[in-house]
Amino acid sequence: MQYFLRRLLINIPVFFAVTLLIYALINLAPGDPIDFFVNEEVGISREDLAFLEEQFGLNDPFMLRYGKWLMNIFQGDLGFRFKNGDDVAEVLRERLGRTILLMGSALLVASIGGILLGIFIGLRQYSSWDFLLTTLSFIGISMPAFIAGIFGLYIFSVKLGWLPSGGMRTIGQPASFLDSLRHLILPAGTLAILQIATFMRYMRFSVLEVKQADFIRTAKAKGLYPHQITYRHLLRNAILPVVTVIGLALPTLVAGALFTETIYSWPGIGSLFVDAVLVRDYPMVMGIMLVIALVVLLANLITDLLYGLIDPRIRLE
Amino acid sequence: MIKNPALTNLKTNSPNAKAWQRFRRHPLALLGLFLFSLICLLALFAPLIERYEPNKINLRDKFQPPSAQHFLGTDRVGRDIWSRTLHGGRISLLVGFAAAAVSMLIGIILGGLSGYYGGWVDMLLMRFTDVIMTFPQVVIILTVATFVGQGIVNVILLIGLFSWPGTARLVRGQVLALREEQFVLAAQSLGARDSSVIFKHIMPSVIAPLLASVTFAINGAILLEAGLSFLGVGIPLPTASWGNMLETARSLDILQDGPWMWIPPALMILINVLAVNFIGDGLRDALDPKHMA
């Protein structure tokens, strides 16, 4: 219990530091939010400018402004977009689900595929399967999302015409599960490649390492059947460290989603972020950074807790 | 001359020679070394190999598929793709090496201080590292890049400035383990200053485990540059980089009808990253202290 509480408490100051970092970064940006209220043709008088600055509290000291911003966030008020005046929190709610769908499917496919393949070759070290998949995994970890995405789009959509080139569903057709699935395959596949390769490598390594553990020798000496040793003793212990790797893959996945969503025009928060950054829509940028930080911290926490749950030794540290 | 057997033995047993022997046994690592050297040479001697100026616009020859004159074809304004791929390599490698150097430097200093002093210095620096690591690097760099402006120097500094946490953690761990050693105590009792103990006495022992992570830092930087340029906030045109050449594939007509424009930079990024990964993997095995015996 103490372990779980400690993990939880460590994350709270980190979260506040993250919000401070976001606020400070955006504060470095040149220009002024007031600029968006000024009509270029009419212009603005010095007095009006001063009045607006006073009214919006732009002359307050940095920490006071940060404090006000933080208070608003805790009340769920993330401000309005510079670009079109939309409510940032509203837009985030609408888009976050789609990104979670994309990243979730990629992570699911990658962890199941990666773990199974890793076990498969881990049990057959130095076989030709091992050689082939290990070599392929090297290509996988060297393949950034923007290259996998461009090649995927070119081969499967432009050349072969098997899959749609972007969006979440075919326009002008009633929404159907199959149609959505067809739109999901390319972006999720693109996002999954890197992770499959990573998980497979870790899983293989872990299997090889546990194979040499003393308790495996003990199990053999007891005369257990090989399949009992493999499934009961070896794999259970070998999967443990891979759980951590899956949890820590989230930042990579978010970075990948930025490119994947942009390439396949997937309307999630990744493509939204790129768009918002390019037009300097700072409230939107801050909102998305906040969500990313929250999700990553949450994933770290869950990983820690899960690891403590399945491996009691960790809790004593 | 009579050879002293003990001496020849000594020579082959030096740790570096042994590490090289282990590295050589990795066929993929050797392949990586070969490919990476080849790419570096191509980039280095680009002005001698190229057949056209990389930034020369020639509207009469625009949008040409590969031919005898332009054997990788030309882009939308008639610039030679082969020349631009070579010159793009110069920029990508420059960014890779320079940004990796910046991030290594920051990581070594912060990791060294953190591991050596421990206590609240360590606590503060490591929480700061946690905060930076909460964000994927692209997210922070993209945000800052839009208001500090484009350009090679900015891209290098930004990548270096936000890529050090991994190195800092690695160095911290190593220093933490080494600071209790006798030779550190010896240096301290001789009155060496803290900075000299950390960087002159402890750091040399950290170099070996760090070497493999240098290769991954170079890869990370090359990929970040390509990614930023791909999104249009990295290296500004007309200077060619693999990333901004690949960016042309974002418009559907070029993706569809001009694959010769984006396949060369895409393959170069892929081969380069693959080669450096092979080298890094070989180095990690060769320099792993577990095999040092």
At A266-313, the pLDDT tens digits run 888 888 898 888 887 888 888 888 888 888 888 888 888 887 777 777
Interface contact A147-B266, CB threshold 8 A: yes
> With bands split at pLDDT 50, 70 and 90, how would you rate the model's confidence at B148?
confident
Question: Would you call A25 an interface residue with chain B, using a CB distance cutoff of 8 Å?
Answer: yes
> Residue A216 — very low, low, confident or very high, per pLDDT cuts 50/70/90?
confident
Distance of CA B57 to the CA centre of its chain: 31
Is A25 within 8 Å of B140 (Cβ atoms)? yes
The predicted structure's pLDDT at residue A110: 92
Mean pLDDT within B201-230: 86
**CA–CA min distance B57, chain A (Å):** 26
- Is the predicted pLDDT of residue B100 greater than 90, yes or no? yes
* Interface contact flag, B147 A292, Cβ < 8 Å: no
Contact A144 B144 (CB under 8 A): no
Nearest CA in chain B to A253: B136
Point out the least confidently predicted range of A52-61, A103-112, B27-36, B170-179. A52-61
C-alpha distance from B55 to closest chain A C-alpha (Å): 24
What is the pLDDT, as a whole number, of residue A185? Answer: 85
Nearest to B256 among A142, A158, A280 (CB): A158
Q: Does residue A237 register a pLDDT over 50?
A: yes
Report CB contact under 8 Å: A26, B143: yes
CA A262 to each of CA A172, A238, B182, B230: distance values in angstroms, whole numbers, following the listed order:
22, 37, 55, 10
Q: What is the mean pLDDT of chain B?
A: 81
Residue with tokens 């968006």, as numbered in its chain: A36
- Are B111 and B175 in contact by the 8 Å Cβ rule? The answer is yes
Residue A226 contacts B, CB cutoff 8 Å: no
Which stretch, A223-227, B61-65, B99-103, B188-192, has highest mean pLDDT?
Answer: B99-103
Residue A210 near chain B (CB below 8 Å): no
pLDDT surpassing 50 at residue B292: no
Higher pLDDT, B124 or B73: B124
DSSP summary character for residue B149 = -
> Which pLDDT tens digit goes with each residue over A145-162?
888 888 888 888 877 878
Task: Encode pLDDT of A100-111 as tens digits.
Answer: 889 999 999 999
What pLDDT does B171 receive? 87
CA angle B268, B28, B33 (to 5 degrees): 55
For residue B127, which residues of chain A lie inside 8 Å, CB to CB?
13-14, 17
Which of A190-199, A204-213, B18-27 is predicted most confidently?
Answer: A190-199
Q: What angle do CA B65, B71, B73 make, to 5 degrees?
A: 30
Which pLDDT score, from 0 to 100, does residue A219 have?
83
User: Is the pLDDT assigned to residue B31 strictly greater than 50?
Assistant: yes
CA A84 to chain centre: 27
Cα B57 to Cα A52, A65, B87, B138, B218, distances in angstroms: 49, 50, 15, 32, 32
Rounded to a whole number of angstroms, the CA Rg of chain A reads: 25
Position B102 confidence tier, pLDDT thresholds 50, 70, 90: very high
Enter the DSSP assignment of B162. T
CA B21 to chain A, closest CA, distance in angstroms equals 21
**pLDDT of the residue at B275:** 92
- pLDDT higher for A237 or A314? A237
Q: d(Cα A278, Cα A29) in Å, to the nearest integer?
A: 13
Question: Among A143, A150, A151, A190, which would you mutate to test the B interface (most chain B Cβ atoms within 10 Å of its Cβ)?
Answer: A150
Distance CA A170, CA A265 (A): 13
CA A289/CA B143 separation, integer angstroms: 10
Are residues B259 and A143, on separate chains, in Cβ contact within 8 Å? no
- Partner B, chain A 150-179, Cβ-Cβ below 8 Å: 150-151, 153-154, 158, 165
Reported as a pLDDT band with limits 50, 70 and 90, residue A42 is low
Q: Which tops the pLDDT comparison, B61 or B213?
A: B213
In this prediction, residue A181 carries a pLDDT of 80
Note whether B235 and B50 are within 8 A (CB).
no
pLDDT surpassing 60 at residue B6: no
pLDDT for the residue B98: 94
Q: B137: which chain A residues are within 8 Å (Cβ-Cβ)?
A: 255
Nearest to B249 among A28, A150, A165 (CB): A150
Q: Please tell me if residue A216 touches chain B, with a CB cutoff of 8 Å.
A: no
Chain B hits for A13, CB-CB cut-off 8 Å, are 127
Kindly list the residues from chain A whose CB atom is less than 8 angstroms away from the CB atom of residue B234. Answer: none
In chain B, which residues have their Cβ closer than 8 Å to the Cβ of A144?
223, 226-227, 269, 273
pLDDT given for residue B293 in this prediction: 36
Classify residue A172 by its DSSP letter.
T
Q: Closest-CA residue in chain A for B278? A: A138
